[in-house]
Amino acid sequence: MHKNAKSSLHSRVLIVKKHLEEDVPVSDLADFFEVSKSLIYRWIRRYHQEGLNGLRDRK
């Protein structure tokens, strides 16, 4: 998967940081990145629980 794919680690970090640091609404991020709001909330929750490791691919 390339680094700019919708669900790459790079994109996940970018999405979570834009929400937490720049206060961009989840709905705006979901529309822009073409991913579901529930997926973004999952990434935010995992980031809070595990830090950057929470955003890595899971098997």
Structure tokens at 38: 């529930």
CA 43/CA 26 separation, integer angstroms: 11
Tell me, what's the pLDDT at 15? 97
Tell me, what's the pLDDT at 6? 72
Q: What is the mean pLDDT of each run of 10 residues along the chain (59 residues)?
A: 71 96 97 94 97 90
Tell me, what's the pLDDT at 59? 75
Whole-number Cα distances in Å, 30 to 27, 38, 59: 5, 9, 23
Tell me, what's the pLDDT at 58? 81
CA 52/CA 9 separation, integer angstroms: 9
Tell me, what's the pLDDT at 35? 93
